[in-house]
Structure 1
Amino acid sequence: MKKLGFDPQKYIEEQSKYILERVDHYDKLYLEFGGKLIGDMHAKRVLPGFDADAKIKLLQKLKDQAEILICVYAGDIERNKIRGDYGITYDMDILRQIDELREYGLAVNSVVITRYSGQPSTKMFINKLERRDIKVYKHAAIEDYPSNLEKIVSEEGFGKNEYIPTTKPIVVVTAPGPGSGKLATCLNQLYHESRNGKTAGYSKFETFPVWNVPLKHPLNIAYEAATVDLKDVNMIDSFHFDKYQKVAVNYNRDVETFPVIKRIIEKITGEESVYQSPTDMGVNRVGFGIVDDDVVKEASKQEIIRRCFATECDFKKGLIDEETVNRIKLIMEEVELKKEDRKAVLPAREYSERLREQTQSNDTPAVIAFELQDGRIVTGRTSSLMDSCSSAILNSIKTLANISDEILLLSPVILETIQTMKQKDLHSKITALKANEILIALAISAVTNPTAQLAYDKLSELNGVQAHSTVMLSKNDEQTLRELGLDITSDAVYPSENLYYI
């Protein structure tokens, strides 16, 4: 049984109470949401017990008082930026978010395109949204933002961007990723609300870093690892300490921009800001939900290792620079971690090395090791029939169901028929069956085969399993494992010399 280190119910109660206290001071509160609104898997991994959908469930409790603005930077649409955990582009993620928000009964006011200057792909995305009756607002970049205070807070700055009419006291401003323009959108709204004679406030719904956990706690260092490409660095909030003589942890961007943001808010409202530090601006009660610090520390260390593998793979794919890789290595050294501290790594590599010696191949044999919830290690390798993901999944559910290794869950005739269809009818150059194809075959076999049904029923027990691959996986296999709830890492090795067919 996985140990829990976090109480999600206590967190939701604390956070919702704190938000409502903020709302009481204003006609309207613009609440910038840091991190992911739905499916916050980072928080779930580092805080065992955390509900990945805690934020959206909290908002559901406040749905009569809240509506949502979704921001996206036009440049991210233009370059087809990918959201790593889902493997989809930011524009597609916005469509996904809108669907899920509606399922929770939450009102989506509109989509805000930030730093828009007529980019072609963004125009097409705007057309797609508007033809589905979704309101879209376009905000241009403001020259010298955020340093030129006089220009920003004027008709030539925020005044040139559209005002977004809202009707509820809490306006949640979210985005598919960092750098999407959430803060600028909040400040733009504050400017127009002030001009309309309304009292509006700004707060930031934070999760990480955790302000009341030590600076060098693995939980906060895991946040640095997660944002290594953004070069975020945790630091003591000097403003908070100077004002209250209390140590609080924040990160460099918030600390550096705080004086400017404070002055912008004061110029908009004509009053002294109620916030004396960037920590004051945040609504962050995560630290109060921790119930077992040792469990959280260990989970955070494992997340740092996971991020190290992911960063090295991104470098291999050409997505990030070498400086980012060096940064994650320094973080690993700081916490005295090595990649082999992830339990599934060595079994996968050792099996792969044995296969290499047997076949004398130049390519690294593709092997995946699953660390089951009870600590047992199960491996799978790529063969001419199926890939390593498929093999590991079948071997694992057979192990969980106590089915002998000699018993076949799937008829070879069925598998060969699927292979033939892929090759001859679909003209696929990849004939080894992928994980999603094997799962469909298993589901069909379970209808008539009691043994297959027994194994099929164990699929849910793969949720939370830790896995490691000796080669980088295809997007389809990676996504299938994520959907099953596995946390997968990979060595930064391509499975073959092929550039396209992997």
Structure 2
Amino acid sequence: MRKQGFDPQKYIDEQSKYILERVNHFDKLYLEFGGKLIGDKHAKRVLPGFDEDAKIKLLQKLKDKTEIIITVYSGDIERNKIRGDYGITYDMDVFRQIDELRGFGLSVNSVVITRFNNEHSTNVFISKLERRNIKVYTHKSIPGYPSEVDKIVSEEGYGMNPYVETTKPIVVITAPGPNSGKLATCLNQLYHEHKLGTQAGYSKFETFPVWNIPLKHPLNVAYEAATVDLKDVNMMDYFHYDAYKEVSVNYNRDLEMFPVVKRSIEKITGKASIYQSPTDMGVNRVGFGITDDAVIQEASKQEIIRRNFSTECDYKKGLIDQEVVSRMKLIMEELALKKEDRIPVVPARTYAEKLKENSATKEMPAVMAFELNDGTVITGRSSNLMDSCSAAILNAIKYIANIGDEIFLLSPAIIETMKDLKKDKLHSKITTLNANEVLIALTIGAVTNPTAQLAVEKLHELTGVQAHSTVMLNKDDEQILKRLGIDVTSDPVYPSENLYYM
């Protein structure tokens, strides 16, 4: 059992109380939610004990007072931008979010398409939403946004975009990812609300960086690592210090935008803003849920190492440039971290090197190592039957269930039949079984094999396992590991010299 360093209930109680206090300042509060509203895996990794659905459970407590608007940038739909943690496009993620929010009993008001310019794919997306009775609003780009405040806060700016009709005192604005137009949507709503005579306000709920811990605390540095491609940099909130002589932490984009946001709010409302700093504008209380700082620091360092591996793999795939890799390297050096500080890395590489010595090929053998929750390291390697991910999963659950190595969980006959299907009927060039196929075979076998059934029952104990692969994984294996709750990293090495493989 891994150590916990965060009290989720204390956090939810503190956070809900603080949001309600903020609501009391206004007739209606537009609350911009940064980060993930559901399934915040980053927060769960760096704050052991954090409930990844804490935000949504918080909103559940306030559901009678809350409705939700989802914003998505039309350009992200046009280029089929992928949400990495789920491996789905942003338009599909909007559907997923609506389903999940409804499942939690929350009211989804509408979807706002931002910076819309009548793009074809976006129009198809709008049609799909409207034919499922989801209200859709489109907002055009505003010339001069965000700096030309006088033009933006006018009938030629926010005035030309439609008002989203809302009825509840808390309106949450969320999105599939960054730069989706959440802030612009909030300010657009404020403009129309005040024209209608409603005293509406704006606040931001951003979990990271944590404003009331030190700037260079590993938890805040881990946020920089997580947003290294966005070039986010944590900084002291100098507006807050000037106003209150109190040190707090924010990040560069919020600090750069604060004067503009403040001026926009003041022009909309016609009176001085109640906010003197970006920290004032936020409602985040996550720092008050920390119960063991040493645990949080270690977890954050491990997250930085994970992000470093991810960055190197993205560079290998051509998704980012060298500047991002260099910046990630500086973050690692800042905390004196090495890749080998991640426990499963060395066992995986050592086993792979041993296999390579006895191999006639030049390719790096595919090996995966699992660090189980009791500290035991289990490895698995690719063979002509299954890939390394599948082997590691089977070896791990056999260990957890105290099943001997000599006992087969899968019948060789079933494996060969599945391989023949892939080769002869599906015409696949890669016939080794991947993790998804192996787990399906295992659950089918469990119907008649009590040992396989015992192994299946232990799959849930893989949640929280740390894994490392000596080669980059295919998307199917990557998603299976994520669904099992396994945190995986990979060396930036392709599993073969083939340019295309399935």
TM-score (norm: length of structure 1):
0.99
1:412 aligns with 2:412: yes
Distance 2:129 2:382 in 1: 42
Is 1:19 paired with 2:19? yes
Give, in whole Å, the separation in 1 of the partners of 2:268 and 2:250: 25
Residues of 2 paired with 1:355 and 1:226: CA distance? 34
Could you list the runs of 5+ residues in structure 1 that have no partner in the other structure?
none
Residue 183 of structure 1 is matched in structure 2 by 183
Instruction: Please show how residues 361-400 of structure 1 align to structure 2 within 5 Å.
Output: 361-400=361-400
The aligned residue for residue 132 of structure 1 is 132
- Equivalent positions of 1:31-46 (< 5 A) are 31-46=31-46
**Alignment match, 2:10:** 10
* 1:295-345 deviations in Å (ceiling 9; x for gaps): 000000000000000011111111111100100000000010011100000
- For the residue of structure 2 that corresponds to 1:68, the secondary structure is strand
Range with greater deviation from structure 2 (248-257 or 358-367): 358-367
How far residue 24 of structure 1 moved from its aligned partner, in angstroms, is: 1.1
Q: What is the 5 A alignment of 1:164-313?
A: 164-313=164-313
Query: Counterparts of 1:9-158 in structure 2 under 5 Å?
Result: 9-158=9-158
**Equivalent-residue separation in structure 1 for 2:132 and 2:421 (angstroms):** 37
Q: Which amino acid aligns with 1:86?
A: Y
Task: Deviation per CA, 1:393-446: give whole Å up to 9, x if none.
Answer: 000001111111111111000111111111112222221001011111111111
Q: Secondary structure at the match of 1:126?
A: helix
Aligned to 1:489: 489
Residue 82 of structure 2 aligns to which amino acid in structure 1?
I
Q: How big is the shift at 1:459?
A: 0.5
Tell me, in whole angstroms, the C-alpha distance in 1 between the residues paired with 2:35 and 2:132: 27
Report how far residue 453 of structure 1 moved.
1.4
Displacement of 1:500 after TM fit?
1.8
Structure-1 separation of matches of 2:424 and 2:50: 47
Deviates more, 1:422-431 or 1:330-339: 422-431
Q: Provide the rounded CA distance (Å) in 2 between the counterparts of 1:479 and 1:346.
A: 23
Identify the residue that residue 320 of structure 2 maps to in structure 1.
320
Query: What amino acid is aligned across from residue 154 of structure 2 in structure 1?
Result: S
1:125-168 CA-partner distances (Å, limit 9, x unpaired): 11111111111110011111111111100011000111100011
- CA shift at 1:238, angstroms? 0.4
Q: Deviations over 1:202-226 (max 9, x none)?
A: 0001200000000000000000000
Bigger Cα displacement from structure 2, 415-424 vs 67-76: 415-424
Secondary structure at 1:232 match in 2: coil
Give secondary structure in 2 for the equivalent of 1:201.
Answer: strand
Cα distance in structure 1, aligned partners of 2:415 and 2:6: 44
Specify every segment of 5 or more residues in structure 2 that has no aligned partner in the other structure, as ranges.
none
Q: 2:360 corresponds to which residue?
A: 360
- Distance in structure 1 (CA, Å) of the matches to 2:401 and 2:149: 65
Hey, what's the Cα distance between the residues in 2 that align with 1:465 and 1:68? 34
| Secondary structure of the structure 1 residue equivalent to 2:358 | helix
CA distance in 1, matches of 2:46, 2:200: 34
CA RMSD across the alignment: 0.7
Shift of 1:174: 0.2
Aligned residue pairs, count? 502
Give 3-state SS (helix, strand or coil) of 1:378's partner: strand
Structure 2: how far apart are the matches of 1:148 and 1:9? 43
Distance 1:176 1:336 in 2: 33
- The secondary structure found in structure 1 opposite 2:129 is helix
1:157-207, Cα deviation, whole Å (9 max, x unpaired): 000111100011100000011100000000000000011111000000120
Task: Report the alpha carbon displacement of residue 458 of structure 1 after superposing the two structures with TM.
Answer: 1.0
Q: Residues 447-458 of structure 1: matches in 2 within 5 Å?
A: 447-458=447-458
User: What residue is the counterpart of 1:435 in the other structure?
Assistant: 435
**Aligned-pair distance for 1:78?**
1.0
Q: What SS does the aligned partner of 1:198 have?
A: coil
1:70 offset after TM fit, Å? 0.3
The separation in 2 between residues aligned to 1:297 and 1:361, in whole angstroms, is: 42
C-alpha deviation, 1:235, in angstroms:
0.4
**Distance (Å, rounded) in 1 between the aligned partners of 2:312 and 2:421:** 36
- In structure 2, C-alpha distance between the alignment counterparts of 1:282 and 1:321, rounded to whole Å: 32
Structure 1 residue 283, shift from structure 2 partner? 0.5
Q: CA deviation at 1:265?
A: 0.3
CA distance in 2, matches of 1:326, 1:215: 21
Spell out structure 1 runs of 4+ moving beyond 2 A: none
Q: In structure 1, how many angstroms separate the alpha carbons of the residues matched to 2:112 and 2:442?
A: 44
Task: Give the deviation of 1:247 after TM superposition.
Answer: 0.3
Looking at structure 2, the residues matched to 317 and 216 of structure 1 have their Cα atoms a distance apart, in angstroms, of 31
SS of equivalent to 1:447: coil
Looking at structure 2, the residues matched to 451 and 41 of structure 1 have their Cα atoms a distance apart, in angstroms, of 32
What amino acid does structure 1 have at the position aligned with 2:489?
Answer: T
**Amino acid in the other structure paired with 2:367:** V
Residues 354-397 of structure 1 show CA distances to partners (whole Å, capped at 9, x for unaligned) of 11111131211111000000111101111111011110000000
AA partner of residue 192 (structure 2): H
- Partners of 2:439 and 2:428 in 1: how far apart? 19
Q: What's the CA shift for 1:76?
A: 0.8
Identity %: 74
- Alpha-carbon distance between aligned partners in 1 of 2:495 and 2:120, rounded to the nearest angstrom: 36
Within 2, Cα distance between the matches of 1:353 and 1:157? Answer: 62
Aligned equivalents of 1:89, 1:495: Cα separation in 2 = 25
Amino acid at match of 2:197: G
Q: Distance in 1 between matches of 2:169 and 2:423?
A: 58
Residue type matched to 1:346 in 2?
A: V
Aligned with 2:80: secondary structure? coil
Aligned letter for 2:164? I
2: CA distance, partners of 1:405 / 1:226: 39
1:283 alignment partner, SS class = coil
Per the alignment, residue 401 of structure 1 pairs with 401
